[in-house]
Amino acid sequence: MPDGKFCTCEECARSKYGPIGNEERLGRVGINPRHVKNGVLKPGIFPPTHLERKGLSVTRVDVIDLDELTKQAQKQVINEGEMVEGVVLLETAVIRAEIDEHGNRCLCAFDDPVDGNEAHACILRSANQDETEIRRLRGRLLELYPKTTPLSEVYPAGDGES
């Protein structure tokens, strides 16, 4: 794991679940057709300013169960004709291992509970990467995770919560 000096926020516990473990999966809900074209994710699912400033919203799928994940996902169906495609299952260890050309970490993943979703977390740039670097990073995310996983396949059969 690269040096974590850029992401001290990862050590803070803000929810009852505590800091995010490297073994955890972080789910980003994909809505069809908003985020998906022909089964493949569009870059728009990772808004540049969210990676840069606001924080990319994800859910800690391994601290909740399928019912709660489904509830969180359905909340994001906003417009007529939309449906939940699935979740992009980002692996915390992989996100934290992403490094730039200088060997420095690019992305932090930290605990960030919000009203109505105690399992909410954020992914954010680690330093002052510029707009073009943010685009490279979202391209990298799309390369690592080109598709969503159906909600029904997030948890092993008969094991709603790990």
Partner 1 sequence: MTSLAETLLDRADGPSTGFRGDSSALYNPNLNIKELMVPSAEPTSPFRIQHATLAALALVALNAGSTSPGTFKINDLSETNRSFSPDHRFAFIPDRLVPLLGELTSFQSLQNGWDGPDSVAPSADVIDLARKFLMNLPGDISLPDTTVSADGEVGFYWKADGVYIDVGFPTDGRISYYAEANGKVARFAGPYKGQSVPDDLVEVINNI
Residues within the interface to partner 1 (CB under 8 A): 31, 34, 37, 40, 42-44, 46-50, 54, 57, 76, 78-79, 130-133, 135-136, 138-139, 142-143
Indicate the DSSP class of residue 21.
P
116's torsion region: left (phi>0), alpha (psi -120 to 50) or beta? Answer: left
CB of 135 to partner 1, least distance (A): 4
Amino acid in the structure at residue 157: A
65 in Cβ contact with 120 (< 8 Å)? no
Q: How far is the CB of 142 from partner 1 (least distance, A)?
A: 7
Instruction: Pick the closer one to partner 1 by CB: 4 or 139.
Output: 139
Residue closer to partner 1 by CB (options 8, 49) is 49
Please say which residue, 48 or 86, places its beta carbon nearer to partner 1: 48
* DSSP letter assigned to residue 136: H
Smallest gap from residue 34 Cβ to partner 1 (A): 6
Beta strands in the chain (DSSP E): 25-32, 36-37, 40-41, 56-60, 83-91, 107-111, 120-125
39-65 burial, b for 16+ CB within 10 Å, e for fewer? eebeeebbebebbbeebbbbbbbbbbb
Least separation, in Å, of the C-beta of 47 and partner 1? 4
Minimum distance between the CB of residue 146 and partner 1, rounded to whole angstroms? 8
Q: Specify the residue, 31 or 123, whose C-beta has the smaller distance to partner 1.
A: 31
| CB nearer partner 1, residue 22 or residue 118 | 118
Contacts of 97 (CB under 8 A, 6+ apart): 1, 2
